[in-house]
Amino acid sequence: MAQGSYDPTGWVEEITLDEVEHALVELRAGLGMKALVVAKPAS
């Protein structure tokens, strides 16, 4: 991890900005470890 590359598969969930509130509820309940908010592609 200190070298800048690591595999987030299995412990980081990618979510959209619309899903942040739901993800926070799940994280507080211990149902997840990490959430990465990804930007939607410009349309």
1-42: pLDDT as tens digits: 567 777 878 889 999 999 999 999 999 999 989 999 998 765
Q: Say what the pLDDT of residue 26 is.
A: 95
The kind and range of the H/E element at 13 are strand 12-15
Nearest to 15 by CA among 27, 23, 7: 23
Domain count for the chain: 1
**Residue 36's beta-bridge partner residues?**
14
Q: Say what the pLDDT of residue 4 is.
A: 72
Q: Say what the pLDDT of residue 43 is.
A: 61
Answer whether 15's CB lies under 8 Å from 36's CB: yes
What is the pTM assigned to this prediction?
0.66
- Rounded to whole angstroms, the Cα distance separating 18 from 10 reads 21
Domain containing residue 11: 1-43
